[in-house]
């Protein structure tokens, strides 16, 4: 039995700033996504999702093919495709079960934690092992590619690093990735769930492109304008 898990996160400073290359401070929380799985002797992946009364199933593709997507934000398939492009080799199918206690669509990175946990699971069952498969920074990169880049979504990278690395951390993204963990003990945070689903994709698009459009307008008047200064 293979087991992996990844935490959600809260943002203590700089919400919606990471994709603008501005600094953020994140903290992992003690709510997690957990994946368990074992070989099924077949040529398909089966994923049971009892918490949401759902399931996923897809056949293992040929070496040169991707698994086709069947819905928007098809993360189980996108992570599978991305990790294979980065050297993972899945030679047999698995029966998996996913449990989680991170509120969905609540701004605590349930989808990013899922992508991180699934990327970890797939790298662990790979028939070819590489040193980077055990590197949380690499896992975060894979999760970001699968969740954001693969579907051309407007989000940033802070959620994936926060989930893959954990703890309290300063993050800044630009030409390079600057991550600085803080060895601090924080007090207790109480996270309230309104049970109102957050339109994550819509909010990210509105905020990101609204700011970028504003920057372009300002630069027409002041070509030297820099958001960081």
Q: How many domains does the chain have?
A: 1
Q: What is the pTM of this model?
A: 0.90
Share of the chain above pLDDT 70, in %: 99
Assigned domain for 229 exists: no
Assigned domain for 184 exists: no
Assigned domain for 8 exists: yes
CA angle 130, 6, 83 (to 5 degrees): 35
Q: Stretch 148-164: mean pLDDT, rounded? A: 93
CATH number of the domain within which 150 lies: 3.30.230.10
Assigned domain for 114 exists: yes
What would the two tokens of residue 114 be? 């899922």
Q: What was the pLDDT predicted at 227?
A: 79
178-206: b or e for each residue (b if 16 or more CB lie within 10 Å)? Answer: ebeeeeeeeeeeeeeeeeeeeebeeebee
Assigned domain for 227 exists: no
Q: What was the pLDDT predicted at 202?
A: 77
| pLDDT above 90 (res 124) | yes
What is the three-class DSSP state of 91?
Answer: coil
In tens, the pLDDT along 173-220 reads: 888 899 999 988 888 888 888 877 777 777 777 877 888 888 889 888
What is the three-class DSSP state of 82?
Answer: helix
Assigned domain for 80 exists: yes
What would the two tokens of residue 36 be? 């368990």
Please give the residue range of the domain that contains residue 30: 2-173+190-221
Assigned domain for 182 exists: no
Q: What was the pLDDT predicted at 65?
A: 92
| pLDDT, averaged across the chain | 92
Assigned domain for 178 exists: no
């Amino acid at each position: 039995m293979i087991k992996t898990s990844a935490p959600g996160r809260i943002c203590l400073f700089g919400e919606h700033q990471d994709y603008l290359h501005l600094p953020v401070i994140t903290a992992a929380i003690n709510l997690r996504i957990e994946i368990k799985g074992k070989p099924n002797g077949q040529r398909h992946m089966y994923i049971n999702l009892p918490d949401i009364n759902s399931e996923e199933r897809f056949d293992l593709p040929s070496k040169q093919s991707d698994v086709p997507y069947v819905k928007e934000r098809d993360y189980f398939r996108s992570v599978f495709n991305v990790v294979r492009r980065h050297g993972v080799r899945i030679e047999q199918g698995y029966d998996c079960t996913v449990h989680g206690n991170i509120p969905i669509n609540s701004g605590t990175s349930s989808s990013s934690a899922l992508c991180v946990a699934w990327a970890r699971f797939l790298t662990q069952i790979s028939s070819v092992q590489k040193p980077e498969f055990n590197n949380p920074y690499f896992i975060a990169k894979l999760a970001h590619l699968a969740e954001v880049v693969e579907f051309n979504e407007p989000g940033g990278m802070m959620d994936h690093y926060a989930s893959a690395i954990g703890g309290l951390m300063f993050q800044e993204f630009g030409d390079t990735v600057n991550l600085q963990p803080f060895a601090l003990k924080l007090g207790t945070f109480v996270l309230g769930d309104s049970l109102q689903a957050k339109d994550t994709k819509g909010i990210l698009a509105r905020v990101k492109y609204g700011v970028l459009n504003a920057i372009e307008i300002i630069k027409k008047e002041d070509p030297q304008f820099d958001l960081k200064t």
